[in-house]
Structure 1
Amino acid sequence: MSKNDLQYYESQQCSLQWRAFLNAFSAEFSTKGDLKDLRLFMHQLGRNMASGLGFKGGDNLQLLEDNMNAIWERMHWGWVEINEEAEALVLLHHASPLKTAFGEQALSWTPALLEGIYASWFEGMGMDSSLRLQQKTAEAGFAQVLVFELKRQVEESPFFGRR
């Protein structure tokens, strides 16, 4: 996919009626705290949002992915791929509307919204308490793929310190 194609698809991800507001909100909000606090806020917002999305869970990875993608498709929020690796489940979230909605400058903290949604869904399915879901990389890159890992944590994540 070319950069122009990607820019076109990104432009379709956020309703025009909300784009100016959300970009202005993002610019103002990002001045109100440090990165840790902004991510914590978005993570908690994602947890709250997750409860109203009607997630059905799944007893295998394909059904889990299908049920997540049914929600993302309904919302026009892209799609997720779930890959099983040796020590983690890796979630690759494609075509998120976060960059278009909040602006590229907010990509350091807005993906914590998805992190909170996914974490809440896994916890609701009875995830082992020693596992944590966290964004693996802070950069979405050219392809706008956000990467999250579900794995055992040696240290407590800063996003789980305040609930």
Structure 2
Amino acid sequence: MTNPNVDTQTYLAYYTQDHCSPQWQRFLTLMFDELLTQADHEGATGFLRHIGSRLAAEWPLGEYDTLEALERSVNDALRQLDWGWVAIRPQDNHLVIQHYAFPIPSTSETSLEQSFQAVSAVLEGVYSTWINEQGGSEKTPLRCVDTNVTLRSLTFHYGR
């Protein structure tokens, strides 16, 4: 699933220039590998979601009346973190959050899947916390439902 509002060339240029900082690449690759292979799946992803929630709690967005205003605020926060950008839209009975150009520590096929899994868990925590700030419910699930390795994007759904 791709967003027609995202210019692919702009995206690829951003990703190429602002990839995960080299000083952290190997460390994060090894940390994700150890965490995801040594701990049980629920424990590892739960820990990473918790880290994402803490990050979002330290970076509160405030409350917004429209999805457009929320999207702008999320993108401002992501820009300051150098974590790419999002598009947020309603669809049926849930919100779709499409995240582009997030930093991942590796590009090898072996560790790319683990990087996507780890980053998506962190972002689940971030987005859950920020949506709860908007009056969302902790009981409403927010989950990564799709990954696109080519475009380095993740798709999240908030809702049932």
Coarse TM-score class (shorter-chain normalised): 0.7 to 0.9
**In terms of mean alpha carbon deviation, does 14-23 or 88-97 score higher?**
14-23
Aligned counterpart in structure 2 of residue 121 of structure 1, from 122, 125, 130: 130
Which segments of 5 or more consecutive residues in structure 2 lack a partner in the other structure? Answer: 1-7
Instruction: Give the match's secondary structure for 1:108.
Output: helix
Q: TM-score when scaled to structure 1?
A: 0.79
Aligned counterpart in structure 1 of residue 152 of structure 2, from 135, 144, 149: 144
Q: Tell whether 2:39 aligns with 1:33.
A: yes
**In terms of mean alpha carbon deviation, does 113-122 or 93-102 score higher?**
93-102
Aligned counterpart in structure 2 of residue 94 of structure 1, from 96, 100, 110: 100
Kindly, what percent of the aligned residue pairs are identical?
28
How far off is 1:136 after superposition?
A: 1.4
How far off is 1:135 after superposition?
A: 1.2
Q: Distance in 1 between matches of 2:25 and 2:64?
A: 34
1:19 and 1:101 in contact (8 A); partners too = no
How far off is 1:33 after superposition?
A: 1.4
- Amino acid corresponding to residue 37 of structure 1 in structure 2: G
Q: Distance in 2 between matches of 1:27 and 1:97?
A: 16
Q: In structure 1, what is the equivalent of residue 144 of structure 2? A: 135
1:81 and 1:92 in contact (8 A); partners too = yes
How far off is 1:128 after superposition?
A: 3.7
Q: Distance in 2 between matches of 1:105 and 1:82?
A: 24
How far off is 1:56 after superposition?
A: 2.4
Count of residues paired in the alignment: 149
C-alpha RMSD of the superposition: 2.5
1:13 and 1:100 in contact (8 A); partners too = no
Q: TM-score when scaled to structure 2?
A: 0.80
Q: Distance in 2 between matches of 1:39 and 1:63?
A: 29
How far off is 1:147 after superposition?
A: 0.6
Q: Distance in 2 between matches of 1:109 and 1:27?
A: 9
Q: Distance in 1 between matches of 2:122 and 2:90?
A: 22
